[in-house]
Amino acid sequence: MRQFISFDSHKRYTLVEMEDVETGRTRQFRVNHSRGAIRDCLAGCGEGTPVAVEATGNWYWIVDEIEKAGLEPQLVHPRKAKLMMGLINKTDKLDVHGLNRLQRNKTLPTVWIPPKDLRDLREMTRTRMVLTAQRTRLKNRVLATLNKYGFTLSEFSDAFGRKARVELERCVDTLPPQTAYVTRVMLGQLDTLDEAILGMEKRIRELARATPAITRLMTLPGIGFILSVAIALEVGDMARFPSAPHLASYAGTTARVHQSADKVRYGRLRPDVNRYLKWAFIEAAHSVCLNQARYPERHATQLYRRIKARRNHPKAIGAVARHLAEAAYHVWTKEEPYRDPVLNKGLSTGGVSAMSS
């Protein structure tokens, strides 16, 4: 018996709908989550039967269970699926039935399922991103606390560097007792985070092999080994992107657009994207901004300065991030190193730029 099967998964349970292809009859039931429960509920289904499951926070183990049962998981883009269902009301029963309807109509919006090993490696770069974000928040908190009492460390290029740390400790000693105590606690947390991040970066260097793709990504402005590994792991298979703008859109570096008649309005960068890939390109764009005085002749530097003068800093960072995302697509697919569009103007060999068509 051929079937359409769809899951509406939550933290503790999954609502399952099985629909007979020939008769259209449906059966819905709830499966409480435990190891092997998903596999057991699919016992007796035809081998290779597709199973639609939304890309929610716990899809990893659910997909593994579906594969162990001999069926084919179909990972669904949640937002696109909701729009295509066109439902006014939202319930679990309506959602799971809507996924089967999209399967029947052959319009199910599926996304790529990365292999297990790749999913495991991603946790290293993704967790490093989380830790660096925590470190940044702590640094901002410490500096804000010092600023309340009139202390600034503007004479240092790095307010938490080795030389600045001596002056910072001296400032903390003059703070009121409770403020000094919490500031020292935050400095201790920063030291712990620094140690954890360094250890994680060392492990990434040991585990991540410098593939040709990673090596070519490192030729882009602002992208070193760690960022190139993060980008490579998040992209996975570049063949799933038909063009550079598609990768830039997936990475969240393209602005939202609203056009009506002769009026066009561009908004902020899209939020419903691969936020880890977005972070990597934004981080690289910030590196370009910080080093603009050292490399004023670069195309990325000139792009940043031009957009910032016309708009503002966030818009300029977004523009540079998009340039880097599109350049990453070209150096990956054409298997050539990055060639700066300004420095290599008029040259026909030696690399590829983001301006390539």
Domain ranges of the chain: 3-104, 116-207, 212-333
- Asked whether the beta carbons of 141 and 109 are under 8 A apart, the reply is no
Mean pLDDT calculated for residue range 278-307: 94
Q: Looking at per-residue confidence, does 355 or 212 come out higher?
A: 212
Query: Contact at 8 Å (CB) between 280 and 227?
Result: yes
Contacts (Cβ under 8 Å, ≥6 apart) of 161: none
Average pLDDT over residues 282-292: 94
Asked if the model's pLDDT at residue 353 lies above 60, the reply is no
* Cα-based distances in Å from 68 to 43, 64, 119, 255, 267: 10, 6, 17, 40, 44
In the prediction, which pLDDT does 163 show?
A: 87
Above 60 in pLDDT, residue 354? no
Q: Is 244 left (phi over 0), alpha (psi -120 to 50) or beta?
A: alpha
At residue 347 the predicted structure's pLDDT band, cuts being 50, 70 and 90, is: very low
Report helix, strand or coil for 58.
coil
The pLDDT assigned to 21 comes to 87
The per-residue pLDDT for 348 is 38
Instruction: Write out pLDDT tens, residues 160-207.
Output: 988 899 999 999 999 999 999 999 999 999 999 999 999 999 999 999
pTM value? 0.86
Residue 122 has pLDDT above 80, yes or no: yes
pLDDT at 281 > cutoff 60: yes
Helix residue ranges per DSSP H, the chain = 37-41, 59-68, 78-85, 92-104, 116-148, 162-173, 177-207, 212-217, 225-235, 244-250, 275-290, 299-310, 313-333
Q: How confident is the model at residue 271 (pLDDT cuts 50, 70, 90)?
A: confident
Residues facing 30 on adjacent strands: 15
Looking at residues 97-122, what average pLDDT do you find? 94
What is the per-residue pLDDT for 175?
A: 94
Domain 3-104: homologous superfamily in CATH: ATPase, nucleotide binding domain (3.30.420.40)
> CB neighbours (10 Å) of residue 159?
17
pLDDT tier, 345 (very low <50, low <70, confident <90, very high otherwise) = low
The model's confidence at residue 23, banded by pLDDT at 50, 70 and 90, is confident
pLDDT of residue 158: 86
User: What's the confidence (pLDDT) of residue 159?
Assistant: 87
pLDDT tens per residue across span 36-71: 999 999 998 989 999 999 998 889 999 999 999 999
In this prediction, residue 1 carries a pLDDT of 53
d(CA 229, CA 213): 9
290-318 mean pLDDT: 93
